[in-house]
Amino acid sequence: MSFKKYIKAVGTGPKGNRELEESEVIDAIEAILENRVTQAQIGAFLIGWRTKLETDGELTAAVKALKKYMKFSKVENSLELGYSFDGRVNNPFLFPLYEEILKNFHEKNKDITPLHLVISGDLVQPAKNGLTTKEIFDSLDVGQYVHYFDRVEYLKELSLLTPLRHELGLRTVFNTVEKLLNPGLSEYGVTTAFHKPYVKKYLTMFKEYYKEVLVVKAAEGSPEVFGNGKYWKEVDGEITEVSFSINDFGITYDKTYEDISLEEALEIVKNPSDEVLKLAKFNIALYLVFASRVDNLEDAWKRLN
């Protein structure tokens, strides 16, 4: 089928636009990943689709299309942390501290099924610059409990679109669907949403691939919490919201950075302050709840401390 048909479907304005059928989304994504269309056509389609606003059905179909090109390597007893693939500028990454926290936790809590964390990364994607998980992992040794998947290895076709995406300089459908593709075949997945309407979108498009998916209100497109927040999950077909306060756990972190450098970020986790360590522990407490290892945050926090 002519790719121009898809451009017309998403790029002719409110009167002419229409929702793409699942088979059309899959065909369009395949044509893009396999370079069967020109760069100009890809750009026109992605921008038009984003402007039209992708429906939940279209996003779900896009995830299904990407899955066909992925290489999977199962990580048992794991929770995938769905980080954004654009940059981080205002906060350090906390995940380099998770390995030691989980190691100590499981040594003291033999009754808890081990929890492994899966994180993916690639070169920075639009629409902003900053630090990426890939840069951090390239500077670290991967341990027993934290597992890194490089997209150039598990979904090379999407990774190779990076130059075009930077040339466009705008968010596209790939920014929405790429965070939680589950290369480790994890049982649980958690990501974050910038805007509340995306909570439903994330729960809808990813729930087929996990035992449970959660969305947390967190920092800079990542499932790392630096302040008070909330999380959402689907229970019996309804989206439930749970609020939490880090202050209730004795954490008073309020530090922010401007264009944090890789060196600064690494120094923070190599020599963490007490408050940074508390924050990292609190995030692990959340993940223990998300992965059904404990019943509530209070129990997780008590066990961690």
Tens digit of pLDDT for each residue in 125-178? 997 889 999 999 999 887 899 999 999 999 999 999 999 999 999 999 999 999
The CA distance from 24 to 298, in Å, is 47
Residue 135 shares a structural domain with residue 177: yes
What lies within 8 Å, CB to CB, of 140 at 6+ separation is 96
Residue 149 shares a structural domain with residue 25: no
User: Is the distance from CB of 56 to CB of 207 less than 8 angstroms?
Assistant: no
User: Given pLDDT bands bounded at 50, 70 and 90, which one contains residue 292?
Assistant: very high
Entry pTM: 0.96
**Exposed (0-12), middle (13-18) or buried (19+): which is 53, by Cβ within 10 Å?**
exposed
Report yes or no on 219 lying in a domain.
yes
At 262 the pLDDT is 95
Query: Of 181, 55, 194, which Cα lies nearest the Cα of 121?
Result: 181
At 221 the pLDDT is 86
Domain that holds residue 40: 4-53
pLDDT digits (tens, 9 = 90+) for 69-117: 999 999 999 999 999 999 999 999 999 999 999 999 999 999 999 999 9
Residue 245 shares a structural domain with residue 170: yes
Report yes or no on 59 lying in a domain.
no
User: Is the distance from CB of 43 to CB of 168 less than 8 angstroms?
Assistant: yes
Q: Which amino acid is at 222?
A: S
User: Given pLDDT bands bounded at 50, 70 and 90, which one contains residue 1?
Assistant: low
Residue 166 shares a structural domain with residue 240: yes
Is residue 230 classed as helix, strand or coil in its secondary structure? strand
Number of domains the chain contains = 2
For residue 238, the surrounding DSSP H or E stretch is strand 238-244
- State yes or no: pLDDT of 194 exceeds 90: no
User: Given pLDDT bands bounded at 50, 70 and 90, which one contains residue 207?
Assistant: very high
Residue 11 shares a structural domain with residue 107: no
Find the Cα–Cα–Cα–Cα dihedral 182, 187, 191, 196, rounded to 10°: 120
Of all residues in the chain, the percent with pLDDT exceeding 90 is 92
Residue 154 shares a structural domain with residue 249: yes
At 128 the pLDDT is 82
Residue 191 shares a structural domain with residue 283: yes
